[in-house]
Amino acid sequence: MIEMHQLAAALYLGAGIAAWLGVALPAPQLGRVAVGVLGLGALIHAPAFAFLHNAEPPIPITDLPAAVSLMSLLAVLFYLALLLRVRLTGLLVLVAPAAFLGVFFAALRLSDPGDPSFAGAGSWPHAHVVLASAGFAFLGVAGLAGLLFLTENRRLKTKKFLSLPLPSLEALDRVNLAALALGFPLLTLGVLTGVLWVQTESGRPWTGSAHELWNALGWALYAGLATARFAGHQGSRSAAAASVGAALFLLFAVVGVGVLA
């Protein structure tokens, strides 16, 4: 299992390097190679979860490294699905390195997991982790699309018209919109199943733990972002900036707080 995570991380890193070279040269064919390598990484990454319970000792999916690995896989699969509808090969320069970092972190921590980050039994913990991880993954892609949108927007405003094979601002904004529209409901379901998990374990819906507090703050932040985007007619540039800031907050709320705890 650890070896499969390490191999997947290596393939994600290779996809990122190929994507960056494809942009820098520029060489569009390298972008297509990068997509293929990323897909191969996902094919190796996905079965690794089947071996979590076969490890010694067994590693629950509720443990932080396993959850981060799942987020990385779901983000990659979401990106590959988007490629079927939108020309987004250039976004791979951010998606692949982010996936590499997530899986590499997981591979390091899975080799010496220690005590589980979040204890629990039954279906609620698994439902919480799967739904919340999917929400985090989609919203993370929204943040990456927002970052590339801001970069491209600045480049165009400074009139640095380079023949780089990067997605258009319209395509990046569509990704941001779709990722938020899918990610926020999944995050909401993740929070609700988390409340049910805590209720089952402790007899009350809120214990005041750092994990609960930071995830609640993250949900509230995205609730405001979704309201501004879908009801407040927020502009594309403002939405991109907000998605970047919210994704950074969510990264700290999930990974940073989990590591510190």
User: Using one digit for the tens of pLDDT, what is the confidence trace for 208-222?
Assistant: 888 899 999 999 999
Report pTM.
0.92
- Amino acid 122 reads G
Say which residues have a Cβ less than 8 Å from residue 10's Cβ, sequence separation at least 6: 41
- Amino acid 115 reads D
* Structure confidence at residue 56 (pLDDT): 67
The parent domain of residue 66 ranges over 2-260
* Structure confidence at residue 161 (pLDDT): 55
Counted domains in the chain: 1
> Residues 229, 233, 236, 238: is their CA dihedral positive or negative?
negative
pLDDT tens across 228-242, in order? 999 988 999 999 999
Q: What is the mean pLDDT of residues 122-144?
A: 93
pLDDT tens across 79-92, in order? 999 999 988 999 99
Considering only 23-27, 47-51, 149-153, 193-197, which range has the smallest mean pLDDT? 47-51
* Structure confidence at residue 177 (pLDDT): 96
> Which helix (H) or strand (E) element contains residue 142?
helix 123-157
